[in-house]
Chain A
Amino acid sequence: MKTITVAFAGNPNVGKTSLLNHLAGTNLKVGNWPGATVEKKEGRLSFMGQDIVLVDLPGVYTLEPISEDEWIASNFLTEGKPDLVVNVIETPNMERDLLLTVELLERDIPMVLVLNMWDEAQKLGIEVDTERLSELLGVRVVKTNGRTGEGVKAILPNILEVIALREKPKPLRYGRELEEFLEKVRERPEETKAELIRKLLQSPKFETLRAHIKRTLGKNPYDLIKDERYAVAHGLYREVVHRRALHSRDITDALDKVLLHPYFGVPLFLLVMFLLFKVAFDFSLPFMDWLDSFVNGFLASLFFVLFSYFGVDEWVQRFVSEALVGGVGFVLTFLPLIAVIYFLLALLEFSGYLPRVAFLMDRFMHRLGLHGKSLIPLLLGFGCNVPAIVATRTLETKRDKLLVIAMIPFISCPARLVVFSFFALIFFKNPALVIFSLYLLGILVALLTAVFLRKTAFSGQLYHFVMELPPYRLPTLRLLFRIVWVYVKDFLYRAGTLIFAASVLIWLLLNLPPGVKNPSESVAAGIGKAILPMLKPMGIEDWRVSTSLIPAFLAREIVLGSMGTIYAVELKGEEKSFEPLKALEEQVVAFGFALKDALVNVLKPLPSAFEVEEGHEGLRRVVAGSMSPASAFAFMVFLLLYTSCLGTVAVIWRETGKVFASLFLLYSLVLGWLLGVLAYRLLSIWSF
């Protein structure tokens, strides 16, 4: 049997995602519409032996091509040839939503109408005569509560019956004049109303007819069609909806009085942001550390012991335990952070607060040419650039998304703080000031990048602000967890594979040719020596510094560990006796401690993500001798700006494609180098 394709269409915020989640469960997948940055959700399922694909169209108020969203929705309905369209309506706003219903009916596609948020409508005293509605349109009507899932079960059987019985909606009837004009443009009997309208409005063949309409009716054809659509939608609404005057207190109005307060709104947002930041990073940090030790300490050693037992060649042993297992571990360490950020963002989004942030903060952000919502990803960047870039999915337009993604990597994160504090403590009397100035430099470069992009690649675009603030709703935990799972799966599949491959490649560079005992003989050292002349203008004359940049592409803080190895002052973990069972026991205990730490961290008033541990004593002494303060500062500037972070590059790649990601990496490299050189020159003049 052929797979049935069902398109879910509806206005924004009508609860399509929740419905899809109830229907497809964890079989939901996220991705992007081809050639667009608009998110596409798709769920596959089997119901009564029938394979069904549910496709979530972008939330739109009309199918008129105003922006990418409407274009995608409209295009899928014609080109994607769905077998059926499920039109989801937010029952409390039925009058508005019926416009889209009318436009969908013009397409002549079998339809099931879902009146969602039925419970909210009841509370507002709105009654809908569903039998009459069904009779007028020739379409089945299902009542649901998307939050709890009540009534959702009826959707699938109705879809199958409509398709099995070949039920079609009743043809729409517009006013006599318009119907006559539409018949005039008909060339084939099977043309749908939507096609006739498109021809009437656009086809060069009917130029004279358009002029005739304008002359006889005094309005242009587009306005005529628009008015007719509204008239039909309004007529339907009048016929089936009955309102009782009800005076229930509206929770949304009450909450908005506080959260959107002219004076308290912004401080409250900052408080929410602080809590988000704190919970996200402090809660996930112990788990990240635990995963790191579990994979690199336990699993890697376990493989090592097993291979030694079977007498596998040492180089192969190390490749499997360090590169393969280590690569998996590197991907896994991001998981707790990504999952927690997705959870909190989904909570903010589904509760209705996120759109309000846009409204609140737009007065500051629009001066920078950015959408109010873009402040959230930018602030998250101070915690970690990877989830910050992931968080740009809440931005609606491609322009905003790319602008913010190009800014985030310059926002300094704790990984950079580790490097900064190491060098600043060695070379400067006032390390705090140096670190602070580096943070400021990062923010400045982010802003200049935004200005630069707006003047060049993203110029000439009009920027209006139009959005709906949905009512506050408490999402169910089940919905949130499922959403998190869908995104985590997507991250593992797309960014995870890239991170894994690159970390294996870097291991190979450090350990090829086979049998190298000392990093100075490796391919990496060869590359390090080759790129050294390029670092000379920054006052860096030591190949060991340039070589340490290669493993540091994984993550900036690795620069210290790898310098330690290359300078041969810190020997990598000595072989200890490894007993698998005892070690496993230790790991279980460690997980318990991680859980405890996570909960304790969340309760502490200040974020602990910025606590820096001191270390690398031996390395301090050697590095102090091999660099000057000016070149150390230049090196820090370089590392601040150049996107030396595999995780960040991988998510940029995932979100924007490889062209943008490579161009951005190059841009950050050139900029880091230029400003590094500039910093070195300036500081050298002041005779540091």
Chain B
Amino acid sequence: MNLEEVSPGQEVVITELRGKEDILKKVEAMGLRRGKRVHLLQKVGRNLLLKLDNSRVVISRDLARAIEVQ
């Protein structure tokens, strides 16, 4: 399952980041890495609001599709 398919309120663990785009390097540096637990807070429009550790991160659906979760 990828992160876009998760529904708000769920907590999942990242298993893999797919895709070659540079922006994924930033996403990863922001803490969305393999093995991290993220909590999906909201889906608004084309964006997802996530909580991981003590930070809140917004990413768009196209990026969420590249993140495999469990």
Contacts and interface: CB of A to CB of B under 8 A. Distances in A.
B55 A464 contact: no
B26 A66 contact: yes
B14 to A, nearest CB: 13
A464 B61 CA distance: 9
The main secondary structure of chain B at its interface with chain A is mixed
B5 to A, nearest CB: 18
A523 interface: no
B8 to A, nearest CB: 9
B33 interface: yes
B12 interface: no
A64 B25 contact: yes
B44 A360 contact: yes
Given A262-B42, A359-B44, A359-B49, A467 B58 contact: yes
Contacts of B55: 92-93, 96, 468
Interface residues of A, number: 35
A226 B17 CA distance: 13
A363 interface: yes
B44 A464 contact: no
B30 A363 contact: no
Contact of A469 (B23, B25, B56): B56
B47 A359 contact: yes
Contact of B49 (A64, A363, A469, A471): A469
Given A260-B42, A467-B58, A64 B47 contact: no
Contact of B21 (A359, A462, A465, A469): A462
A61 interface: yes
A289 to B, nearest CB: 42
Interface centre among A95, A99, A226, A465 (most CB of B within 10 A): A465
B42 A466 contact: no
A366 interface: yes
A62 interface: yes
B49 A96 contact: no
B27 interface: yes
A265 B42 CA distance: 12
Nearest to B26: A66
A465 B22 contact: no
A353 B14 CA distance: 28
Nearest to B54: A92
B29 A61 contact: yes
Contacts of A256: 41, 56
B58 A96 contact: no
B26 A62 contact: yes
B57 A468 contact: yes
B60 A464 contact: yes
A124 B55 CA distance: 12
A62 B44 contact: no
Interface in A73-113: 92-93, 95-96, 99-100
How many interface residues does chain B have, given as a range? 20 to 34
Contact of B63 (A226, A262, A366, A464): A464
A362 B46 CA distance: 8
Contact of A95 (B25, B45, B53): B53
Contacts of B28: 226
B28 to A, nearest CB: 8
A61 B46 contact: no
Contacts of B41: 256
A74 to B, nearest CB: 13
Interface centre among A96, A124, A363, A468 (most CB of B within 10 A): A96
A66 B26 CA distance: 7
A466 B29 contact: no
Given A260-B42, A360-B44, A466 B59 contact: yes
Contacts of B60: 464-466
A307 interface: no
A435 B20 CA distance: 51
A577 to B, nearest CB: 65
A230 interface: yes
B53 to A, nearest CB: 6
Given A66-B22, A464-B23, A466-B23, A359 B58 contact: yes
Interface in B33-50: 33, 41-42, 44-47, 49
Contacts of B46: 362-363, 366, 465
A96 B56 CA distance: 12
Given A61-B29, A66-B26, A93-B31, A469 B45 contact: no
A241 to B, nearest CB: 11
A469 B30 CA distance: 12
B47 A363 contact: yes
Contacts of B58: 358-359, 465-469
A104 to B, nearest CB: 13
Contacts of A64: 22, 25, 29
A93 B54 contact: yes
Contacts of A359: 44, 47, 49, 58
Contacts of B54: 92-93, 124, 471
B44 A230 contact: no
Nearest to B49: A359
A62 B25 contact: yes
B59 to A, nearest CB: 5
Interface string B9-25: 00000000000011101
A468 B25 contact: no
A95 B31 contact: yes
A96 B26 CA distance: 12
Contacts of B57: 466-469
A637 B42 CA distance: 44
A247 to B, nearest CB: 14
A467 B41 CA distance: 15
Nearest to A95: B53
A545 B26 CA distance: 56
Contacts of B42: 260, 262
Given A96-B30, A464-B60, A465-B60, 10 more contacts: A95-B31, A95-B53, A359-B44, A359-B47, A359-B49, A360-B44, A362-B46, A464-B63, A466-B59, A466-B60
22 contacts: A62-B26, A64-B22, A64-B25, A64-B29, A66-B26, A95-B31, A95-B53, A96-B29, A100-B29, A124-B54, A252-B56, A260-B44, A360-B44, A362-B45, A366-B45, A366-B46, A464-B62, A464-B63, A465-B59, A465-B63, A466-B23, A467-B58
Question: Ordered nearest first, which 4 A-B pairs have the shortest CB separation?
Answer: A363-B45, A61-B29, A465-B60, A62-B29
Interface of B: 21-23, 25-31, 33, 41-42, 44-47, 49, 53-60, 62-63
Interface of A: 61-62, 64, 66-67, 92-93, 95-96, 99-100, 124, 226, 230, 252, 256, 260, 262, 265, 358-360, 362-364, 366, 462, 464-471
